[in-house]
């Protein structure tokens, strides 16, 4: 398909403008067909950028190895370029949009020499849903096109919906590596050096300009850039919520179902929770989404959620038959793997896959790798942020209604993080504003020393949106408060819970997690029906010690540890929020949240 086939004048004009700026060799429109996907994958294999995997073991699968400098989202190089710095707020990197556009235009000039420019019309959310939004990504990466074809709905059907003048979010992307006079990548992953990487969002004009990285959230612009950063701005203006949340469906033994969303910082097991296999008999969990939820109020005052994505971009290490059977099954065919290790028979392997490395591997850097379990210093064969990009409809536990254009009505919202102490296994907010307070104080222990924060310290990550909120986080808190102003008692709005699967004692986890988290979901389900065994505490509503069915190996003592309010720990928490967290937001901090903090402290001191 070519640009001549397009009917949308504004889109054609934008494509022509970018073509003149980036100077590609040719322009191709992504039509969403399997033929086009296969042809692009073949090109990547032929040029040495991708390896076709064993077609008996992993039909339709390929493996890419990226450049060692381009392996994850780059928060330091991510910018919210609002007109006023204050509107980006204290948690975002800001550059004046005029200055940033001028810098980027300099970089984009001629950046697609020797490459094809692809135009990807995509829908975030089921085609035609009143909650969905359309975007168009221009990119010079075939890897990006193929990943977008899995992660979003791409092609002719989207163009039909767009018609001659429909609204779309323009998303511009280049790997930032022009090729001169017949030069080729020679099988090397193209990208620009770190100081030339820019992941830029322009909230007022709702534009995304990304340069220099070909990896994940930096390059698949429908995901973090559009469905979270730009969508959070749209949601504020239009009265809905764009959130970093999984969506799951839980059904009790009587066949009654509820839908739950959950926000957890990256690396807290969101995909595992979304796909868990319950250990309590008769209960069932199905998946609607594992990373992003868009929630809109319905006429009945309930919040209805869609998953704007169509695939899973999951972290591979740690994914095994026992930790997440369903994710492995989803990624068993038609999947793009990035930065995992390759076995001799052209299968994939990663740390935590559930079995030892079978013989000699090629690690994610392309070097030979033989497992040496006695060598604690051995570098991993798969990069810790290596990924699988798998179609959601291949997941055995995908809920039949996962693409319902009306969305699913949400009964409960969960917040959580990795907290070795203080935060109990679960507590429920007293009302909507208390729930917003819990979202605003989410924190998680830093596990890898790759961030600028020391491992073991707690990084506050409000609503798990720290790297994803497209405007001032204080105003975002206010937006959440405003969404509940007519239903403080949550007659229709979801109940809000704070969970913590990661309590430790003597260095060991007290709660087994994974499938056993269904026991906590059961209590949450009962709370929504008003039939749970509860006790009122200074921090909120908690289960009685016997309210949650105990998994094997968890003693009554352990349950007490998990469900007792640690007053001293919480007072430290209050102190940290008061001195280090809330002051950052200055006058943008909603007064309701400051008042909640006072109420909590008073209750703890009583």
Binding site for GTP: which residues? 267-272, 387, 418, 514-517
Q: Which does 503 bind (CB under 5 to 8 A by kind): ligand OXD, Mn ion, none?
A: none
Fill in the per-residue mask, 241 to 280: x = in contact with Mn ion (CB under 5 A), - = not in contact.
Answer: ----------------------------------------
Helix (H) or strand (E) holding 515: none
Task: Please say if 191 is a catalytic residue.
Answer: no
Residues 428, 497: contact at Cβ < 8 Å? yes
How are the residues of the chain apportioned to helix, strand and coil, as percentages rounded to the nearest 5?
30, 25, 45
* Residue ranges of E strands in 59-110: 62-64, 78-80
Q: Shortest Cβ distance from residue 266 to Mn ion (Å)?
A: 5
Told to check if 269 binds ligand OXD by CB under 6 A, we report no
What phi, psi does 219 have (nearest 5°)?
-125, -30
CA distance to 48, 87, 366, 449, 590, per residue, from 363 (Å): 16, 43, 5, 22, 49
Q: Shortest Cβ distance from residue 440 to ligand OXD (Å)?
A: 19
Of 406, 358, 399, 366, nearest in space to 382 by CA: 366
Q: Which residues are annotated as a binding site for Mn(2+)?
A: 224, 244, 291
Catalytic residue among 268, 395, 397, 469: 268
Find tokens 């506050």 and name the residue.
460
Q: 3-state SS string over 159-221?
A: HHHHCCCCCCEEEEEECCCCCCCCCCCCCCCCCCCHHHCEEEEECCCCEEEEECCCCHHHHCC
Residues 524, 557: contact at Cβ < 8 Å? no
Instruction: Note the helical H segments in 29-173.
Output: 34-46, 85-88, 97-108, 142-151, 156-162
Q: How many CA within 13 A on the CB side of residue 439? A: 28
Under DSSP, the state recorded for 588 is: G
Question: In whole angstroms, what is the distance from residue 52 CA to residue 360 CA?
Answer: 18
CB atoms under 10 Å from CB of 113, counted, come to: 16
Q: Shortest Cβ distance from residue 465 to ligand OXD (Å)?
A: 10
Question: In whole angstroms, what is the distance from residue 532 CA to residue 6 CA?
Answer: 56
Residue nearest Mn ion by beta-carbon distance:
291
Binding ligand OXD (rule: CB under 6 A), the pick from 24, 217, 417, 494 is 217
Told to check if 291 binds Mn ion by CB under 5 A, we report yes
Q: Shortest Cβ distance from residue 265 to Mn ion (Å)?
A: 9
Question: In whole angstroms, what is the distance from residue 47 CA to residue 525 CA?
Answer: 52
Q: Which does 500 bind (CB under 5 to 8 A by kind): ligand OXD, Mn ion, none?
A: none
Q: Which does 411 bind (CB under 5 to 8 A by kind): ligand OXD, Mn ion, none?
A: none
Binding ligand OXD (rule: CB under 6 A), the pick from 291, 309, 347, 403 is 291
Binding ligand OXD (rule: CB under 6 A), the pick from 132, 139, 201, 266 is 266
Total residues in contact with ligand OXD, by rule CB under 6 A: 4
Question: In whole angstroms, what is the distance from residue 120 CA to residue 171 CA?
Answer: 9
Told to check if 213 binds ligand OXD by CB under 6 A, we report no
Q: Shortest Cβ distance from residue 444 to ligand OXD (Å)?
A: 12
Of 60, 173, 194, nearest in space to 118 by CA: 173
Find tokens 């099954």 and name the residue.
329
Q: Name which of 232 and 433 has its Cβ closer to Mn ion.
A: 232
Among the listed ranges 284-292, 445-453, 483-491, 541-549, the one in contact with Mn ion (CB under 5 A) is 284-292
Q: Which residues are annotated as a binding site for substrate?
A: 73, 215-217, 266, 385-387
Among the listed ranges 256-264, 288-296, 389-397, 416-424, the one in contact with Mn ion (CB under 5 A) is 288-296
Residues 132, 157: contact at Cβ < 8 Å? no
Told to check if 78 binds ligand OXD by CB under 6 A, we report no
Told to check if 190 binds ligand OXD by CB under 6 A, we report no
Among the listed ranges 116-124, 291-299, 349-357, 588-596, the one in contact with Mn ion (CB under 5 A) is 291-299
Q: Which does 229 bind (CB under 5 to 8 A by kind): ligand OXD, Mn ion, none?
A: none
Q: Name which of 212 and 217 has its Cβ closer to ligand OXD.
A: 217
| Beta-bridge mates of residue 315 | 387
CA 202 to chain centre: 20
Told to check if 290 binds Mn ion by CB under 5 A, we report no
Q: Which residues are annotated as a binding site?
A: 73, 215-217, 224, 244, 266-272, 291, 385-387, 418, 514-517
Q: Which does 70 bind (CB under 5 to 8 A by kind): ligand OXD, Mn ion, none?
A: none
Q: Name which of 455 and 535 has its Cβ closer to ligand OXD.
A: 455
Told to check if 243 binds ligand OXD by CB under 6 A, we report no
Told to check if 461 binds Mn ion by CB under 5 A, we report no
Residues labelled catalytic: 268
Interface positions with ligand OXD (CB under 6 A) = 73, 217, 266, 291
Give the binding site for Mn ion (CB under 5 A): 291
């Amino acid at each position: 398909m070519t640009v001549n086939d397009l009917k949308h004048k504004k889109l054609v004009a934008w494509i022509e403008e970018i073509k003149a700026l980036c100077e590609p060799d040719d322009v191709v429109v992504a039509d969403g067909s399997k033929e086009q996907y296969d042809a692009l994958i073949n090109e990547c294999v032929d040029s040495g950028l991708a390896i076709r995997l064993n077609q008996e073991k992993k039909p339709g699968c390929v493996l890419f190895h990226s450049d060692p400098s381009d392996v994850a989202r780059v928060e330091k190089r991510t910018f919210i370029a609002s007109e006023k710095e204050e509107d980006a707020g204290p948690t975002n990197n800001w550059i004046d949009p005029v200055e940033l556009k001028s810098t980027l235009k300099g970089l984009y000039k001629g950046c697609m020499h020797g490459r094809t420019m692809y135009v990807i019309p995509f829908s975030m959310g089921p085609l035609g849903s009143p909650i969905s939004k359309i975007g168009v990504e221009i990119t010079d990466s075939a890897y990006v096109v193929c990943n977008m074809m899995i992660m979003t709905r791409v092609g002719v059907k989207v163009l039909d919906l767009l018609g001659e003048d429909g609204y779309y979010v323009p998303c511009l992307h280049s790997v930032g590596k022009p090729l001169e006079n017949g030069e080729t990548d020679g099988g090397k992953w193209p990208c620009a050096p770190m100081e030339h990487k820019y992941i830029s969002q322009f909230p007022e004009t709702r534009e995304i300009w990304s340069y220099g990285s070909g990896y994940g959230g930096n390059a698949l612009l429908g995901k973090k850039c559009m469905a979270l950063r730009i969508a959070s701005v749209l949601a504020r203006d239009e009265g809905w919520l764009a959130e970093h949340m999984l969506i799951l469906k839980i059904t009790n033994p009587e066949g009654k179902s509820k839908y739950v969303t959950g926000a957890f910082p990256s690396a807290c097991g969101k995909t595992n929770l979304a796909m868990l296999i319950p250990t309590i008999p008769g209960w069932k969990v199905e998946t609607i989404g594992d990373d992003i939820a868009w929630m809109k109020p319905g006429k009945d005052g309930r919040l209805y959620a869609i998953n704007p994505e169509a695939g899973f971009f999951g972290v591979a290490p740690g994914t095994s038959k026992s930790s997440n059977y369903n994710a492995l099954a989803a990624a068993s065919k038609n999947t793009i793997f990035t930065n995992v290790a390759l076995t001799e028979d052209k299968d994939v392997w990663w740390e935590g896959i559930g079995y030892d490395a079978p013989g000699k591997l090629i690690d994610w850097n392309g070097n030979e790798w033989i497992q040496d379990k006695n060598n604690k210093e051995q570098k991993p064969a798969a990069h810790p942020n290596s990924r699988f990009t798998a179609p959601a409809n291949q997941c055995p536990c995908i809920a039949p209604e996962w693409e319902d254009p009306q969305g699913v009505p949400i009964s409960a919202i969960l917040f959580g993080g990795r907290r070795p102490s203080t935060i109990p296994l679960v507590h429920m907010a007293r009302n909507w504003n208390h729930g917003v307070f819990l979202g605003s104080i989410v924190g998680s222990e830093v596990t890898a020393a790759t961030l600028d924060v020391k491992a073991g310290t707690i990084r506050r990550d409000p609503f798990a949106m720290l790297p994803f909120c497209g405007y001032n986080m204080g105003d975002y808190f206010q937006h959440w408060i405003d969404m509940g102003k007519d239903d403080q008692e949550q007659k229709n709005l979801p109940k809000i819970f704070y969970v913590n699967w990661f309590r430790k004692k003597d260095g060991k986890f007290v709660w087994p997690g994974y499938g056993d988290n269904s026991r906590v979901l059961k209590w949450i389900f009962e709370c929504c029906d008003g039939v749970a065994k509860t006790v009122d505490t200074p921090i909120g509503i908690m289960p009685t010690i016997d309210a949650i069915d105990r998994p094997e190996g968890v003693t009554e003592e352990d349950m007490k540890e998990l469900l007792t309010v640690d007053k001293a720990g919480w007072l430290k928490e209050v102190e940290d929020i008061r001195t280090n967290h809330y002051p950052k937001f200055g006058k943008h901090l909603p007064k309701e949240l400051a008042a909640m903090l006072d109420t909590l402290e008073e209750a703890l001191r009583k």
